[in-house]
């Protein structure tokens, strides 16, 4: 891949450059020393991936990410001195369209960098995402699969990736504290950021938000967020669990894996939505749920930070509705109320 580096610290640029050179699989496209320069360079020469610092003069990494995703979109990974110390800005950057975040590697000895493996692993994940083909279509239920949940129960499921934290927050912010359906969210995010994301989302809504734990049963008024690098699934007992398989999925956790498990084991109503994100994860799962008569929503292009995943769903005719982000929360409240009234 052609990779650009955006960082105002020369030592950090050199550390990242050495990691890329040592990996032997990638080409350095260009280097920018601040966000303003990065926006201009990206418009003239869009790379496959940008490794974006957060704290820089003239324009920080959050604003640079926002402008690049609006003008000349490409994959962006935040590379900053300390992800933990800058978690709020990391989530802002992810809300603007960044896919992931990792600590800046540190030069130790000649030819060696602490943190090189973590950075190369992130780059490899992005490479697989950008090069991954559309998932093969599969049937909704295996023969003999047991379904759970009474017909009157309604489950809301949400999938999101780049730009997702802000999008998910916007959806749940509009829901009342008495929202009568459980919500489960699969957001592409590294396990180390999941707890911080759940805490941040909890501050955006009157609903209870926490990480999903193995054995949880989705409950009304609660938002459960996938919280590990394994796939979140609904099992045949009606509870949530985590699984390592499939091992070849470009993203962990995978929206498709979760949506398909919901289709297999949830007998009640489902309202499923696919929000902003790069790639195609979730589109096939949404198609399967739509084919079974469940209500499905795709975020529209104008309000998406990255119109990849919802676009893929639209191309598969997987969406019952295509809505701007600010309309999804109120619409969800109406849909769930109507479904519950029908079964009352």
pLDDT at 155: 96
**Tokens in use for 117?**
């493996």
55 burial via Cβ count (<10 Å: 0-12, 13-18, 19+): middle
The pTM for the full model equals 0.82
Answer whether 161's CB lies under 8 Å from 190's CB. no
**Tokens in use for 340?**
């519950």
- 175-224, pLDDT tens digit by residue? 999 999 999 999 998 888 899 899 999 999 999 999 999 999 999 999 99
CATH number corresponding to 154-342:
3.40.50.180
CA R_g for the chain: 20
Residues of the chain with CATH 3.40.50.2300: 2-131
CATH architecture of 2-131: 3-Layer(aba) Sandwich (3.40)
Alpha helices in 53-190 (DSSP H): 61-71, 87-96, 116-131, 164-173
**Tokens in use for 192?**
């180390």
Residues of the chain with CATH 3.40.50.180: 154-342
- 133-145, pLDDT tens digit by residue? 444 334 344 434 4
Instruction: Using the structure block, give the residue that is written with the tokens 């459960």.
Output: 224
pLDDT at 299: 98
pLDDT at 152: 55
DSSP letters, 34-74, are: SHHHHHHHHHHS--SEEEE-SS-SSS-HHHHHHHHHHHS--
- 86-95, pLDDT tens digit by residue? 888 898 998 8
Q: Which residues are catalytic?
A: 161, 188, 281
Answer whether 197's CB lies under 8 Å from 340's CB. no
Residue 341 pLDDT greater than 90, yes or no:
no
Residue 33 pLDDT greater than 60, yes or no:
yes
- What angle, rounded to 10 degrees, do the helices at 61-71 and 35-44 form? 20
With bands split at pLDDT 50, 70 and 90, how would you rate the model's confidence at 111?
very low
**Which candidate, 6, 3, 104, 13, places its Cα nearest to that of 60?**
6
Helix or strand run (H / E) with residue 5 = strand 2-6
Total residue count of the chain as it appears in this document = 344
pLDDT at 113: 55
Largest CA distance in the chain: 70
For residues 139 and 35, the model is more confident at 35
pLDDT at 344: 65
Answer whether 317's CB lies under 8 Å from 286's CB. no
pLDDT at 263: 95
């Amino acid at each position: 891949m052609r990779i650009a580096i955006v960082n105002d610290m020369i030592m950090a640029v050199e550390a990242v450059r050495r990691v890329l050179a040592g990996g032997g699989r990638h080409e350095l496209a260009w280097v920018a020393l601040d966000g303003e320069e990065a926006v201009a360079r990206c418009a003239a020469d869009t790379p496959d991936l940008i490794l974006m610092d957060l704290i820089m003069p003239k324009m920080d990494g959050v604003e640079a990410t926002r402008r690049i995703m609006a003008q000349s979109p490409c994959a962006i990974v935040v590379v900053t001195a300390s992800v933990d110390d800058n978690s709020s800005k990391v989530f802002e950057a992810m809300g603007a369209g960044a896919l992931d975040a990792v600590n800046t590697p540190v030069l130790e000895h000649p030819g060696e960098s602490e943190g090189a493996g973590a950075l190369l692993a992130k780059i490899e994940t992005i490479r697989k995402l950008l090069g991954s083909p559309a998932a093969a279509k599969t049937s909704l239920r295996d023969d003999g699969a047991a379904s759970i949940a009474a017909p009157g129960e309604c489950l809301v499921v949400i999938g999101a990736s780049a730009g997702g934290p802000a999008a998910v927050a916007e959806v749940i912010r509009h829901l009342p504290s008495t929202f009568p359906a459980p919500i489960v969210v699969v957001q592409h995010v590294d396990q180390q950021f999941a707890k911080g994301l759940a805490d941040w989302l909890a501050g955006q809504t009157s609903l209870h938000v926490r990480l999903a734990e193995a054995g949880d049963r989705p409950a009304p008024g609660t938002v459960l967020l996938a919280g590990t690098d394994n796939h979140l699934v609904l099992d045949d007992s009606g509870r949530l669990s985590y699984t390592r398989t499939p091992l070849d999925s470009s993203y962990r956790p995978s929206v498709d894996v979760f949506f398909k498990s919901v289709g297999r084991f949830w007998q009640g109503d489902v309202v499923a939505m696919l929000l902003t994100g790069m790639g195609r994860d979730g589109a096939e799962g949404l198609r399967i749920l739509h084919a079974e008569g469940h209500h499905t929503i795709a975020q529209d292009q104008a309000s998406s930070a990255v119109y990849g995943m919802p676009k893929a769903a639209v191309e598969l005719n997987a969406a019952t509705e295509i809505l701007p982000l600010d309309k999804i929360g109120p619409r969800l409240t109406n849909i769930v109320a109507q479904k519950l009234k029908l079964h009352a």
